[in-house]
């Protein structure tokens, strides 16, 4: 087990280094000049050059990269070019909102997917199965930038039940969480159905039925527990998609999270803030996948033995 953990840690560090480098290079390839955005086109060229030197943007790209890596190793994310505030403070203000949205969306997805997938597997080739899979197809097909406005039109503007946007009210999280959670629930429900169908055909399930166990006990105590490994893998992989989709969803609902801060920084050409937001989302995805692999190995000894 120790060898498995060390190998996963080493590979995670390599991936994180690659992510840091790739994010830095891609951000600097984005068209636009942050100095021109800050000073405007009417500013004197000498002022442009002076500000560029003060921000270190006149240095070669390789030197800027080394400086960026050195700051990261010290836990320094830099300073915003626009507000001149420490980026760490800006992120700390936005992370709780995004974390709250991600956790709530994950809860919504599990709450929808487990019953739908279980019913579809237990009632295979019936109207219930077809209805559950139709919901999954619709959930996968509808993008977040369309699902969000549809929910606003229905529940906010037509019925008047929920707030349109913002985070001031307790119910403000319902619509963004539904927007993100339904897409994940659609994928998860299909996985639950496929895995349960495979598990329900095993010999120990037939033995449990022969002993007189009820169908609910068979599903919840035996089948779902043995079907949990693929489901956990899908949850880990989809969490990155959840964070990526949160960028669009936060803009639609004016949710003050990392995605909202990322779009604002892109509009202002605030390179350090964009780098920090993308880097944080990417590293969270990498770490969640590493933790998923470790959890998988803890639940299934065959993984770590291989």
Model confidence pLDDT, tens digit, residues 54-95 = 667 777 878 888 888 888 888 788 788 777 788 888 888 888
Among residues 235, 255, 275, the one where a domain terminates is 255
Among residues 219, 240, 255, the one where a domain terminates is 255
Residue 42 has pLDDT above 70, yes or no: no
Q: What is the pLDDT of residue 172?
A: 87
On whether both 146 and 228 belong to a single domain, the answer is yes
Q: What is the pLDDT of residue 124?
A: 82
The CATH number for 137's domain is 1.10.3720.10
On whether both 241 and 205 belong to a single domain, the answer is yes
Q: What is the b/e burial string over 59-94, where b = at least 16 CB atoms within 10 angstroms of the residue's CB?
A: eeeeebbeebeeebeeeebbbbbbeeeebeebbeeb
Per the domain annotation, does 208 fall within a domain? yes
pTM of the model as a whole = 0.78
* Closest C-alpha to 242, from 162, 187, 292: 187
Task: Give Cα separations from 231 to 136, 195, 298 (angstroms).
Answer: 15, 8, 15
User: How many domains in the chain?
Assistant: 2
On whether both 203 and 121 belong to a single domain, the answer is yes
Task: Give Cα separations from 70 to 8, 15, 18, 75 (angstroms).
Answer: 24, 18, 15, 9
On whether both 104 and 145 belong to a single domain, the answer is yes
Instruction: Residue 68: give the domain boundaries.
Output: 1-78+257-306
Residue 304 has pLDDT above 60, yes or no: no
On whether both 301 and 182 belong to a single domain, the answer is no
Residue 34 has pLDDT above 70, yes or no: no
Per the domain annotation, does 29 fall within a domain? yes
* Closest C-alpha to 103, from 242, 234, 237: 242
Token pair in block for residue 205: 């399930």
Token pair in block for residue 122: 């237990």
Is the CB of residue 116 less than 8 Å from the CB of residue 185?
yes
Among residues 216, 232, 255, the one where a domain terminates is 255
Q: What is the pLDDT of residue 129?
A: 83
Per the domain annotation, does 88 fall within a domain? no
On whether both 102 and 224 belong to a single domain, the answer is yes
Which residues are CB-neighbours of 91 under 8 A, at least 6 positions away?
Answer: 77, 258, 261, 276, 277, 280
Q: What is the b/e burial string over 4-32, where b = at least 16 CB atoms within 10 angstroms of the residue's CB?
A: beeebeeebeebbeebbeebbeebeeeee
Token pair in block for residue 91: 């992120």
Task: Give Cα separations from 44 to 37, 49, 51, 73, 210 (angstroms).
Answer: 13, 9, 11, 37, 86
Q: Is 83 strand, coil or helix?
A: coil
Q: What is the b/e burial string over 108-131, where b = at least 16 CB atoms within 10 angstroms of the residue's CB?
A: bbbebbbebbbbbbbeeeeeebee
Per the domain annotation, does 263 fall within a domain? yes
Residue 125 has pLDDT above 70, yes or no: yes
On whether both 139 and 201 belong to a single domain, the answer is yes
On whether both 265 and 249 belong to a single domain, the answer is no
Q: Give me the sign of the Cα torsion angle 196, 198, 203, 204.
A: negative
On whether both 110 and 215 belong to a single domain, the answer is yes
Task: Give Cα separations from 221 to 76, 131, 197 (angstroms).
Answer: 48, 25, 15
On whether both 200 and 142 belong to a single domain, the answer is yes
Q: What is the pLDDT of residue 299?
A: 67
Helix, strand, coil percentages, rounded to 5, for the chain: 80, 0, 20
Per the domain annotation, does 87 fall within a domain? no
Per the domain annotation, does 89 fall within a domain? no
Is the CB of residue 20 less than 8 Å from the CB of residue 69?
yes
Residue 31 has pLDDT above 70, yes or no: no
- Min mean pLDDT across 6-10, 20-24, 183-187 is at 6-10
Is the CB of residue 276 less than 8 Å from the CB of residue 285?
no
Is the CB of residue 87 less than 8 Å from the CB of residue 78?
yes
On whether both 43 and 148 belong to a single domain, the answer is no
On whether both 115 and 245 belong to a single domain, the answer is yes
Which residues are CB-neighbours of 291 under 8 A, at least 6 positions away?
Answer: 236
């Amino acid at each position: 087990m120790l060898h498995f953990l060390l190998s996963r840690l080493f590979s995670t560090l390599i991936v994180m280094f690659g992510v840091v480098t790739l994010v830095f290079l891609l951000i600097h390839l984005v068209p636009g000049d942050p100095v021109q955005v800050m000073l405007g086109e009417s500013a004197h060229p000498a002022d442009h050059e002076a500000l560029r030197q003060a921000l270190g943007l006149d240095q070669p790209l390789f030197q800027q990269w080394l400086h960026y890596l050195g700051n990261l190793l010290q836990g320094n994310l830099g300073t915003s070019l626009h507000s001149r505030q420490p980026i760490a403070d800006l992120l700390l203000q936005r992370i709780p909102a995004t974390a709250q949205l991600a956790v709530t969306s994950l809860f919504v997805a599990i709450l929808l997917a487990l019953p739908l997938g279980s019913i579809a597997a237990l009632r295979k080739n019936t109207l219930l199965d077809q209805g559950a899979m139709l919901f999954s197809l619709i959930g996968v097909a509808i993008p977040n930038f369309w699902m969000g406005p549809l929910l606003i039109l229905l529940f906010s503007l037509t019925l008047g039940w929920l707030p349109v946007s913002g985070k001031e009210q307790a119910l403000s999280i319902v619509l963004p969480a539904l927007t993100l959670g339904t897409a994940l629930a659609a994928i998860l429900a299909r996985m639950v159905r496929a895995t349960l169908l495979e598990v329900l055909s095993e010999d120990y399930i037939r033995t449990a039925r022969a002993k007189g166990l009820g169908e609910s006990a068979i599903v919840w105590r035996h089948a779902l527990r043995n079907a949990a490994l693929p489901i956990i893998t899908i949850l880990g992989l989809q969490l990155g998609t959840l964070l990526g989709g949160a960028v669009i969803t936060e803009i639609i609902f004016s949710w003050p999270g990392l995605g909202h801060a990322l779009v604002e920084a892109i509009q202002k050409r605030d390179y350090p803030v964009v780098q920090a937001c993308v880097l944080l989302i990417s590293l969270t995805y990498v770490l969640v996948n590493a933790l998923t692999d470790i959890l998988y190995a803890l639940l299934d000894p065959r993984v770590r033995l291989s």
